[in-house]
Amino acid sequence: TFLCGNGYTVTPSKNKHLTDKTIPPLIITKTLIDQTGVNSPSDFFDNENDWQTVQSNISKRPRSPNSSSPTTKKPDKNIFISANRFSPIAPSDEIQPMETSSTNTNPVINENENKTSKPPPIFIQEQITYKNFCQKMKELTDATGFDCKSSTKGLKLQTYSPVSYRSVVSYLKNNNVSFLLFQLKEEKAYRVVIRNMHHTTDTSLIKQELLNKGFVTRSITPVTNKLTNTPLPIFFIDLEPSPTNSDIFKLTSLCYTKIKVETPHPKKEIPQCHRCQMYGHTRGYCYHSPRCVRCGEQHESTECTKDRSSPAKCALCSGNHPANFRGCQSHLNLKKKLSENPSKKTWNKSSLPRHSTVKNTYESTHQAYSQNFPPLNQDSSSLSHDNNSKDNQNENISAQLSSFINEFKSLINLLKMPTNNLQTLSILLWNANGISQHLNELQLVLGEKKVEIALITETHLTKTSSLKLFGYDIIRADHPDGTTHGGAALLISNKIDHLPLPPYLSPNIQAASTSIKINSITISISSCYFPPGRPFPLAELSNLSQTLSFTHIIGADFNAKYHTWSRTTNTRGRALNNFISLNHYKVIAPYSPTYWPSHGNRHPDTLDFFITNLPNRFSTEPVNLNDPASDHTPVLLLIGAQPTLKQNRPTITPGTTNWNKFRVFISNKITLNTKLISSSDVDQEITQLSDLIQTAAKDSSTLRAPYSQTPNLSPELRQLIVEKRRARSKWQQTYYPADKTKYNYLSNKLKSLLKTHKANLYKNHLQNLSLTNGSLWRKTKSILRIKDSPQPLRRADNSLASTDKEKADILAEELSAVFKPHLIPTPAPHMSSVMESLQSTLPMALPTKPTSPAEIVGIIKKLANNKSPGHDLISNKVVKNLPLKSIVHLAHIYNAALRKCVTPS
């Protein structure tokens, strides 16, 4: 107690949070008494100047606002003045007091300031006897009473006064009851952030300066960078509760420094308790049994003796990962539940504890307790010890099941995928982070999954890079600056009829597109890459969509996050979501993350997905794949539609032809004693011979088996692929360095063996090339030539020509405009001489000599094999395999036509 002027004494607050043992100089301000929290209700009536003063000869007992002792003197309720609730029915002739300036307004002030918020609820997790519990609560609470709400997870207890709240909490603590509570509102610190203050500023100096300005601090914390641990010019300030704390935002200078006072950023992550490892509360207000974050056992994490090399065990889901792993199924379920309500952008601590919504082994541990109220004096450890054998058995079974599920997690999605058939279009989306180093694995997956279209982003290709894949046409969109970064590519099966579209190239978007038909509807498919680190290019995305057909699918690595498809939200994600909503797109995103960073400060997330305006009658199903893998995993989109295939070249000898059977068939059917008298007889015989040759060729040909894109791998390679997938799945769950090392080893080993396997296949292919049939020359030519992507034809209005007729019309117009006769004047004498020569009678000629079968055979031998056939589809190779009997019959037809001077129609 300090003696001040005018005969008054002032008692400073005895706050337990103040750690300074030396008493600082006391500077009395008008708001100091409100901040100490020791006012009594009567002080508001007796002190007009808001000072807490007593006579110097009276010693006052110091009191603490946090005291919960039963001996604490309760405030005198007789001094509480409230309005008369029966005033509306008072007699009308009652004389009302006249309002004057001297009317005492203190009762109104007292009423407003004595209003206290309802204490937070208390959540009790143990099984109780409700009758005994209510009897005990009646003894602990005052006249305000209490309410209860029961659920399968426990009991929610709501008190209505701070005194009752503290009494119940003290009783539960003394009896070792497992419960959860939240901080009283009037005890909660007022946190602000002070920026632009040098990091070496002494916290005691800041504390003293704030005290001089009327702000009592509870704690001051300097802020450091999370990654580098370097100090920042930022301080967290926790103030003691006071109605004038908001005045701190008016400060512009402190400790000779220009500062800026802000409110802390809201926390986006769900708080997790470091004691019981559950979500929705913190360690300071949790009285559950402790659970280790590493091994999941019932002890503090600091007391764990588990070796770091051994796998962890989650206390929430029994998985092989620590309990604070953000990929834990319990955490993902909570995030999903929160994302269903986008209005809740931050975690609300006043809501029900989220640990009650997750079923795990922790529930079974706490439900094993059975307590009766009163009293609560049983030892909870002995109760849990009685059920140790049962709990251990249940945990062993859960661990085995969890291990089994984790091993098969990567295979389940693949096995449950619908089989790709003629009624399904499969589109693969993958960020390759450099396609050249993953080309063998990509070809393996495309063959196994029978993928028709592959959208590849971050190809890292340049104009001099070569990208070839057997069975696929490739459309590329390399980065416009010509360096090995960014870029996109679209791989489409050469069996599908498609029209390549011009690539869209800019620093913000690289897009490779094509147009196909599914169920007779023209759609455009685009593979895009949106580089990060800059604002989302909405204008360029709009321009890209206008170059596509009305119905289109855009598959890309958008590098944008929004809660609709991702675990978090950023600025790029909000911009993309506005574009999607404005243009009525729908998002097709997988259920699991596609981005798996190696950096420990980043979290798995979904960055690769599709946006489309496909009609709703087309069914779509996204499926996560594990291969091929970079730092992204692929997404396979299955669409219930049939793409239009290319028409095969018409031929009468499809597949393999048995030429001996062909010759025998014609020899048995042909007749040589045919009379050819008139021109109609000649035409009829020619038609019959053509039909006979076509029928013989079709009957003698056998269709080849369709080419299987599934590679023929050895059992060792297939086993290594399974082990690599399993190792990757385990690393994605645990993020342990040992699991990452094992995955990298298996991945590099698989790449090396696939490279060797492909080299052996290519070696065998080169050894089978021949000098006689031109295969060696064709192979050499294909290696040396860099094939450019065909550019689509455009009409005069810059629209694309898609059909064969449209392309033929454009070529005809172009050729007719280029090839025109020269406008050269011709002399009249020369023209007259030319006309006379044309109109003169031709001289008499001898009759044409009849042909012979030997002459026809000699001409046939000189025909080239690779010439295109006529409309009858009889190629030169078919003519060369005609039997001698048909050659004799052909000579008979020629001679009859020459004899009758008939030109066959």
- pLDDT tens readout for residues 495-547: 898 888 989 999 999 999 999 999 888 999 999 999 998 899 999 999 999 99
The answer to whether residue 666 is domain-embedded is: no
In this structure, are 464 and 557 located in the same domain?
A: yes
In this structure, are 534 and 398 located in the same domain?
A: no
Average pLDDT over the chain, rounded to whole? 77
In this structure, are 245 and 389 located in the same domain?
A: no
The answer to whether residue 211 is domain-embedded is: yes
Q: Would you state the pLDDT for residue 645?
A: 85
In this structure, are 632 and 506 located in the same domain?
A: yes
In this structure, are 585 and 491 located in the same domain?
A: yes
The answer to whether residue 701 is domain-embedded is: no
In this structure, are 511 and 396 located in the same domain?
A: no
Measured distance between the N- and C-terminal CA atoms of the chain, rounded to whole angstroms: 129
In this structure, are 520 and 597 located in the same domain?
A: yes
Cα 220 from chain centroid (whole Å): 39
State the burial class of residue 159 (Cβ atoms within 10 Å of its Cβ: 0-12, 13-18, 19+). buried
Nearest to 633 by CA among 553, 554, 543, 731: 731
Q: Which residue has the higher pLDDT, 24 or 557?
A: 557
Domain boundary among 608, 639, 670: 639
Domain boundary among 596, 613, 639: 639
Range from 104-113, 380-389, 432-441, 617-626 that averages highest in pLDDT: 617-626
pLDDT of 703 higher than 70 = yes
Q: In which band, very low, low, confident or very high, does the pLDDT at 426 lie, cut at 50, 70 and 90?
A: very high
The answer to whether residue 248 is domain-embedded is: yes
Residue where the block lists tokens 């512009």:
252
Residue 340, SS3 per DSSP: coil
Q: Cβ contacts of residue 63 below 8 Å, gap of 6+?
A: 38, 72
**Integer Cα distance of 560 and 608 in angstroms:** 9
In this structure, are 155 and 204 located in the same domain?
A: no
The answer to whether residue 844 is domain-embedded is: no
Cα 451 from chain centroid (whole Å): 21
What tokens were used for 35?
């901040």
The answer to whether residue 13 is domain-embedded is: no
The answer to whether residue 727 is domain-embedded is: no
Q: Would you state the pLDDT for residue 235?
A: 93
Nearest to 503 by CA among 236, 783, 740, 792: 792
- What is the CB neighbour count within 10 angstroms for residue 50? 13
In this structure, are 297 and 254 located in the same domain?
A: no
pTM over 0.95: no
Domain that residue 618 falls in = 417-639
In this structure, are 535 and 610 located in the same domain?
A: yes
Q: What are the phi and psi torsion angles at 310 (to 5°)? A: -80, 150
Q: Would you state the pLDDT for residue 2?
A: 45
Provide the number of structural domains found in the chain.
4
In this structure, are 252 and 296 located in the same domain?
A: no
In this structure, are 174 and 132 located in the same domain?
A: yes
Domain boundary among 620, 639, 658: 639
The answer to whether residue 838 is domain-embedded is: no
pLDDT of 345 higher than 60 = no
Range from 193-207, 355-369, 637-651, 787-801 that averages highest in pLDDT: 193-207
